[in-house]
Structure 1
Amino acid sequence: MINNAAEAYKRQQIMTATPEALTLMLYNGCLKFMNEGKDAIEAKQWEQANTCLQKAQNIISEFRITLNMEYEISKQLMPLYNYTYDRLVEGNIKSDTKMVQEAIDIIKELRDAWVQAMKKARQENGTKNVQGDSYVG
């Protein structure tokens, strides 16, 4: 019963979140899966590592697909996403935690920049309560 309530709450958060908050949720989910994948590699749990890192790869693929290339920032983000994706794939294949950590560092930096951009936009728009404020470090 508690699990159903938690799932319903999570679903509701996602359904009512702004696009900006959804992007933040995706960054946080990507970091969560990469960290779990790295931990699984260290524990020699290969199947778990593969599953987690593929979930992170799927999120990065979603970021790439949804970039609007009419904007200069998108042209700067695409190579970062491509490089991060490649690090994850190679890190997964070689069970190399250094490669996975490199991907984590890039996504963490992008996530933190996104948080700052959301704060700045809120200040400029005078909006106070945007969902997705908190993030996992």
Structure 2
Amino acid sequence: MYQNAYNIYKNNSVNYASKEQLLLMLVEGAVKFAKIARQAILDKDIKRANSSLIRVQDIFTELMVSLDTTQAGWTSTLLSIYAFIKEKLVEANMTKKIEVMDEIIPLIEDVSNLWHDAYKEAKKQG
């Protein structure tokens, strides 16, 4: 019963979230699944590592395609960062090297922090 209520709440939170809130959910998911993948690599759980890494890759693909590249300046830099992270995620998935995860998890956390900070600033000004 409680699990069903939670699923309804979760679905509604996604269905009624703003664009900005959805973006925050994506970056939070990227951090979460990157850390799950890292632990799965340590545990030698190849299947879980693979599925978690693919989820993070999918999130960064979504972030890349949703960027407004018509805006000058920082979007091209952000696109390059996203592409680098995706490339490293593929490398981590192919090699299952913990060092690759240790290199990119801080970058993924930085991306998440960047979007959280931007969201807070926009709310202050809005």
TM-score by structure 1 length?
0.87
Q: Give the superposed CA RMSD.
A: 1.0
AA aligned to 1:98 is E
Greater fraction of residues in helix: 2
The unaligned stretches of length 5 or more in structure 1 are 126-137
Deviation at 1:67, TM superposition (A): 1.3
Tell me how far apart the structure 1 counterparts of residues 47 and 10 of structure 2 sit (CA, whole Å): 27
Tell me how far apart the structure 1 counterparts of residues 18 and 99 of structure 2 sit (CA, whole Å): 34
1:47 aligns with 2:47: yes
The unaligned stretches of length 5 or more in structure 2 are none
Contact 1:85–1:103, Cα closer than 8 Å, also in 2: no
AA aligned to 2:67 is L
Percent identity over paired residues:
30
SS across alignment from 2:20 = helix
Q: Which runs of 4+ in 1 moved over 2 A?
A: none
In the alignment of these two chains, the number of paired residues is: 125
Deviations 1:9-40 (A, max 9, x none): 00111111111111000001111111000000
Tell me how far apart the structure 1 counterparts of residues 18 and 102 of structure 2 sit (CA, whole Å): 29
Partner residue, 2:19: 19
Tell me how far apart the structure 2 counterparts of residues 21 and 28 of structure 1 sit (CA, whole Å): 10
